[in-house]
Amino acid sequence: MDLEIREFRASDQEQARSLLLDNGPVDGDLDHLNLLMKRPSGLSVVASKQGRIIGAILGNKVGRFVEYFVLTATRDDETKLAQRMLDKALLKLLATGMTKCRITTPGTVRQSFWESVRWQSDSD
């Protein structure tokens, strides 16, 4: 079965939580993730393969921007996986009319990914 990237569902919560725990969360990450999953926004996506969640980008509107929390299970193709999920998530963001986002990556998506997509940090 091929990789599927789709909207996050309530039934995905446990697998998303496991992704974070498998990657060694930093203090507060699990609470943050749980908060995002309790607020369905239509801005979150997951990547699944053979019925198993292998990546997630959870989004939530916060004032004038959207906050995204990125998780991946695989290290081998994490750049391609995160890029495909990010493409879908950002299309959802743009559909809302919002143009700003904040991204949190709890050690699962490294700096090399952000450099590969030419993402630039902004203080805003």
Name the residue type at position 32. Answer: H
CATH architecture of 4-116: 3-Layer(aba) Sandwich (3.40)
The model's pTM is 0.75
Domain ranges for the chain, please list them: 4-116
Question: CA-CA distance, 20 to 96, in Å (whole number)?
Answer: 27
Per-residue pLDDT for the chain (124 aa), expressed as one digit of tens each?
588 999 998 898 888 888 877 776 666 677 777 777 776 678 889 999 888 898 888 888 878 878 777 877 766 566 678 788 888 988 888 888 887 777 766 554 555 566 666 666 665 5
| DSSP 8-state class, residue 88 | H
Q: Is the alpha carbon torsion for 11, 16, 22, 26 positive or negative?
A: negative
